[in-house]
Amino acid sequence: MVGVNPTIPSFILHSNIFAMNPPLRVLVWGEFRHEKTNPKVGALYPDGMHEAIAAGLRGSDDVSVATTTLDEPEHGLTDDVLGNTDVLIWWGHKAHADVKDAIAKKVQQRVLEGMGLVVLHSAHVAKPFLLLMGTSCALKWRESSDKERLWNVNPSHPIAAGIGDYFELPREEMYGEPFGIPTPDELIFISWFTGGEVFRSGATWQRGHGKVFYFRPGHETYPTYYDENVLKVIANAVRWARPSLQIADVCVNAKPLEPLPEDPEADSRSEVGHI
């Protein structure tokens, strides 16, 4: 008889399908180096860029927000912390190389298992994002007097909720195409800069069971993370990236569902598993 199995399969680590919208657990990860060495950045973000980003998310009952930084033990990303994070936000720039490969790999693994990841600005070449994309993620750039106009090219997408046809940032670093990313699953924003360049500045990918969103604005010498539209997009993105299911992303040696005929070669089967 075919029926509905009421138990949760053992390979599912956690499922929100069976819970009534518990608060989304967001962790904002900041490199937190420019703020300590560049007086202009320190004045703009005295508590760190990660705290400005977190402040934009706080105040809603549906989200709990924590922050951590590169110089914390294990970069603040212990197994326990990662295991209790639904969506991770990542900002890094000058110290990508200081992120331990093993930690970057753990972040990649958690995304494959279902954790959401929001990657900001110069984190386009952060180790976890490179692992998840598998491409160079290289781009053109210029620090000058450009204005950025972000066109909303997917207005029905939840990440674009509350955003008009476009919004502008009066000063930002220019990022230009070609951007060395895999073709996005969805494109949400395209930026235009005063110098004439364009850029895919809001894009999504599914990786394993996790959702990834890249969002371009956020150069450290500008007050971008106080901009109402930028904070709205990030707030939308973390909710969009909420895991619906978290599954161990491993090979499984499966028992047959039905009895099998006798296996005449049983003794010669390889005992080497799939790693």
Binding residues for Zn ion (CB under 5 A): 122, 173, 219
- Shorter beta-carbon distance to Zn ion: residue 172 or 249: 172
Position of tokens 């004045």? 43
Task: Give me Rg for the CA atoms of the chain.
Answer: 21
Two structure tokens written together for 236:
């939308």
- Shorter beta-carbon distance to Zn ion: residue 86 or 172: 172
Please give the residue whose beta carbon sits closest to Zn ion in the complex: 219
For the bound state, the minimum distance from the C-beta of residue 38 to Zn ion, rounded and expressed in Å, comes to: 12
For the bound state, the minimum distance from the C-beta of residue 222 to Zn ion, rounded and expressed in Å, comes to: 9
- How far apart CA 220 and CA 30 sit, in angstroms, is 11
For the bound state, the minimum distance from the C-beta of residue 53 to Zn ion, rounded and expressed in Å, comes to: 15
For the bound state, the minimum distance from the C-beta of residue 172 to Zn ion, rounded and expressed in Å, comes to: 8
- Shorter beta-carbon distance to Zn ion: residue 51 or 173: 173
Per DSSP, the three-state class of 13 is strand
Order of all β-strands in the sheet with 210-215: 63-69, 24-30, 87-91, 116-120, 210-215, 198-207, 186-193, 148-152, 166-169
Residues 6+ positions from 5 with CB-CB distance below 8 Å: none
For the bound state, the minimum distance from the C-beta of residue 216 to Zn ion, rounded and expressed in Å, comes to: 9
Contact 207, 80 (CB under 8 A): no
For the bound state, the minimum distance from the C-beta of residue 132 to Zn ion, rounded and expressed in Å, comes to: 20
- Shorter beta-carbon distance to Zn ion: residue 25 or 219: 219
What is the phi/psi pair of residue 28, to 5°?
-100, 120
Per DSSP, the three-state class of 168 is strand
Which residues are registered as beta bridge partners of 12? 247
Per DSSP, the three-state class of 254 is coil
For the bound state, the minimum distance from the C-beta of residue 218 to Zn ion, rounded and expressed in Å, comes to: 7
- Shorter beta-carbon distance to Zn ion: residue 86 or 173: 173
* Backbone region of residue 59 per phi and psi (left: phi > 0; alpha: psi in -120 to 50; beta: other values): left
Q: CA end-to-end span of the chain, whole Å?
A: 35
- Shorter beta-carbon distance to Zn ion: residue 100 or 142: 142
- Shorter beta-carbon distance to Zn ion: residue 91 or 213: 91
- Shorter beta-carbon distance to Zn ion: residue 146 or 173: 173
Residues 6+ positions from 173 with CB-CB distance below 8 Å: 121, 141, 142, 143, 146, 219, 222
For the bound state, the minimum distance from the C-beta of residue 63 to Zn ion, rounded and expressed in Å, comes to: 26
